[in-house]
A and B are shown apart, each in its own frame.
Chain A
Amino acid sequence: MKAAAAAGLFAVQRCRVCGHVQYPPRACCAACLADDPAWEAAAVRPGTVLARTVLHHSHEEMFRARLPLALALVRLAEGPVVLCFAPDRPAIGNAVQVRAALDATGHAVLEAR
């Protein structure tokens, strides 16, 4: 997922046996337990906002300068639920596009627009 994010792609896992799509990444398919789920990368993945928050407090120094930080829980059209940054502060039910990128620490993070 990190390698994909470095290339500007959002990778999720798809089961080679039953086609189940999952996130966060797991060691097996959570639906049928098949081994070695495949990675499937896309530039954007559409989804719908389930819930939102705006953080005014963080446990990490690196985020404090960026507060307040808007987040959303988004259900991807393919099924999985992802937590992502949501700087446009969408409403519940809004359609959004989710992209991946690397953050300042080199971690893959998602953003909904």
Chain B
Amino acid sequence: MSRGYDDIVAAVPVTVPYVRRSEHGADWFLARALAALVAQSGLRKLVIDGLCASSFTLGPDTAVALTQHVGLSPRYLEWLPMGGACGVVALRRAARAVQAGDADVVACIAGDTANDGSFRDLLAGFSSFSRAAVYPYGAGGANASFALITDAYMHRYGATRQDFGRLCVAQRDNARRNPLALLRGALTLEQYLAARPIAEPLHLFDCVMPCAGADGFLVMQRGRAEALGLRHVRLLGAIERHHAFPDDPVQLRGGWAMDREALWAQAGLAPGDMDVVQTYDDYPVIALMQLEDLGFCAKGEAVAFARAHDFTVDGDLPMNTGGGQLSMGQAGAAGGYLGLVEALRQLTGTAEGRQVAGARHALVSGFGMINYDRGLCSAACVLGQ
């Protein structure tokens, strides 16, 4: 078994408020996230000697160029182009760097801009496989890819639009208590079901809304966080897996299913110990799939599980307590940070207006990069007070 993380903690969850469109570049959003980390930690900027960064729209730049933009001289630098898995992976890598002494304080940030051309350009050039074998088929983007996965899942396991709708409605309830959520209007199951089709079987409220924004957090030794007076959360276990189950003809499970036993063993906890769950949710099918693959229920039983549980903040299994991406918006790579930042808020008692009472343990999972027909990156972590 992979060694534990000792006393490595994450602290100072920050969000650069999401907006539907922006004239700022990704560099601006990433800089604002870093500035918020410095301001809210009380650290001098140059004490930050490690940086993990992710962005889809920073190009041609990477984390390397970013060091010069923001005036950092890190001795540990990661560029994590893993989309929805980048937050958990950033935490995992940063924790090891701090544990090994390769960095003292790592800033983890992800952010993107959004304007009329940026999203189309991103999709058109997303990957070489996508360019050759996906985009020319109607240019449906992630909506089309997740529509196919959703269709296969519904056919195999008997999930219905109502099942996905209940998840979306519960998350919207959570979003209504979160001032950072872009979509805060009431959503009923009837409205969900009556929405226009986008890529059948997906309709409007199944599809994440692209936006601009950034998120971030710091990783350091517990002693340092205590000395700084920062509320912090321990990393108890973490996994990542890329291109899992290549022989599955269609994606009905993700890499979590390969590694969940290692995750729970490393954390010394079980799914039933989680007070808060943050699944990656750009489309509802993938949120349900994570519940199965991470061991909250058996394969194919997420629908029954979702019917038996209440995912709202006041429910018996609070999930995506800030509203998830489906109601907060997807600020590009920051979508891979959103669940992690929300979990840090919940476990540090700073989730104003939507605090889950007594939350001590959280599961966060990420999923990213539909390179061709399936998402290739999966990651998950267990956090504890």
Chain B binds chain A: yes
Once the chains are docked, how many angstroms separate the CA of A85 from the CA of B137?
7
Say yes or no: is B372 at the interface (Cβ < 8 Å to chain A). Answer: yes
Contact assessment for B200 and A54 in the assembled complex, using a CB-CB cutoff below 8 Å: yes
Q: Which residues of A in the span 5-22 have a Cβ within 8 Å of any Cβ on B?
A: none
Q: Which residues of A in the span 67-83 have a Cβ within 8 Å of any Cβ on B?
A: 67-69, 71, 73, 75, 81-83
Contact assessment for A53 and B136 in the assembled complex, using a CB-CB cutoff below 8 Å: no
A66 proximity list for chain B (CB < 8 A): 138
Once the chains are docked, how many angstroms separate the CA of A25 from the CA of B134?
13
Once the chains are docked, how many angstroms separate the CA of A68 from the CA of B198?
10
Say yes or no: is B170 at the interface (Cβ < 8 Å to chain A). Answer: no
A81 proximity list for chain B (CB < 8 A): 249-250, 373
Once the chains are docked, how many angstroms separate the CA of A50 from the CA of B155?
10
Contact assessment for A56 and B200 in the assembled complex, using a CB-CB cutoff below 8 Å: yes
Say yes or no: is B7 at the interface (Cβ < 8 Å to chain A). Answer: no
B296 proximity list for chain A (CB < 8 A): none
Contact assessment for B133 and A23 in the assembled complex, using a CB-CB cutoff below 8 Å: yes
Say yes or no: is A34 at the interface (Cβ < 8 Å to chain B). Answer: no
A55 proximity list for chain B (CB < 8 A): 138, 140, 143-144, 147, 198-199
Once the chains are docked, how many angstroms separate the CA of A61 from the CA of B352?
43
Closest to B120 in A: A59
| Cβ-neighbour of A52 out of B132, B143, B151 (below 8 A) | B151
Say yes or no: is A92 at the interface (Cβ < 8 Å to chain B). Answer: yes
| Cβ-neighbour of B140 out of A53, A103, A107 (below 8 A) | A53
Q: Which residues of B in the span 87-142 have a Cβ within 8 Å of any Cβ on A?
A: 119-120, 123-124, 128-129, 132-134, 136-141
By size class, the interface of chain B is: 20 to 34
Given contacts A57-B199, A83-B133, whether A51 and B138 have CB atoms under 8 Å apart is no
Contact assessment for A56 and B197 in the assembled complex, using a CB-CB cutoff below 8 Å: yes
Contact assessment for B140 and A57 in the assembled complex, using a CB-CB cutoff below 8 Å: yes
Contact assessment for A58 and B373 in the assembled complex, using a CB-CB cutoff below 8 Å: no
Min CB gap B115→A, angstroms: 14
Binary CB contact string for chain A from 81 to 113 against chain B (1 if under 8 A, 0 otherwise): 111110000001000000000010101010000
Given contacts A51-B250, A57-B140, A71-B148, whether A82 and B199 have CB atoms under 8 Å apart is no
Min CB gap B56→A, angstroms: 15
Contact assessment for A51 and B140 in the assembled complex, using a CB-CB cutoff below 8 Å: no
Say yes or no: is B149 at the interface (Cβ < 8 Å to chain A). Answer: yes
Say yes or no: is B196 at the interface (Cβ < 8 Å to chain A). Answer: yes
Given contacts A24-B372, A83-B133, whether A59 and B200 have CB atoms under 8 Å apart is no
Contact assessment for A63 and B199 in the assembled complex, using a CB-CB cutoff below 8 Å: no
Given contacts A24-B372, A57-B198, whether A50 and B140 have CB atoms under 8 Å apart is no
Min CB gap B280→A, angstroms: 20
Min CB gap A68→B, angstroms: 8
Name the residue among A53, A59, A71, A73 with the largest chain B CB count within 10 angstroms.
A53
A82 proximity list for chain B (CB < 8 A): 133
Closest to A85 in B: B137
Contact assessment for A53 and B139 in the assembled complex, using a CB-CB cutoff below 8 Å: no
Contact assessment for B138 and A63 in the assembled complex, using a CB-CB cutoff below 8 Å: yes
Min CB gap B261→A, angstroms: 27
Once the chains are docked, how many angstroms separate the CA of A8 from the CA of B114?
40
Top 10 nearest A-B pairs (CB, nearest first) are A53-B147, A60-B139, A51-B152, A24-B133, A51-B148, A54-B200, A51-B151, A69-B138, A50-B250, A59-B139
A-B contact pairs, 9 of them (CB 8 A): A23-B133, A51-B250, A55-B147, A57-B143, A59-B139, A81-B250, A82-B133, A85-B137, A109-B137
